[in-house]
Amino acid sequence: MEPTHKLDVLGHYCPVPVSQAKKALGKLTKGSVLMVIADDPETMHDMPILVDRLGHNLIEVQRVSGEFKFIIEVCI
């Protein structure tokens, strides 16, 4: 699934990546796909929990060279 929006939170640490992702997801409409790019290892734990709590779909998590890419489909 190809992202329609991108959020770059590289260099930011907890709680910034998750709070920024929540804010971005709240502005998107159903069917949008957000790619969140982060380098805080805590996001590997926190982002799936956030996505689940908000009722969205975590399509994919990519781990490349210390960066984490979360592909999230907006479901509501």
- 32-70 pLDDT, tens digit each: 999 999 999 999 999 999 999 999 999 999 999 999 999
Q: Which amino acid is at 58?
A: L
Residue 75 among the catalytic residues: no
Inter-residue contact 44 to 68 (CB < 8 Å): yes
What does the pLDDT read at residue 31?
Answer: 97
Three-class SS state of 19: helix
* Answer CATH for 5-73 from 3.10.20.90, 3.30.450.40, 1.20.1510.10, 3.30.110.40: 3.30.110.40
| pLDDT band at 75; cut points 50, 70, 90 | very high
Residue 76 has pLDDT above 90, yes or no: no
Which candidate, 38, 34, 16, places its Cα nearest to that of 25? Answer: 34
Residue 1 has pLDDT above 90, yes or no: no
Q: Among the options 3, 4, 14, 59, which is catalytic?
A: 14
Among the residues of the chain, which ranges form H helices? 16-27, 43-54
Three-class SS state of 61: strand
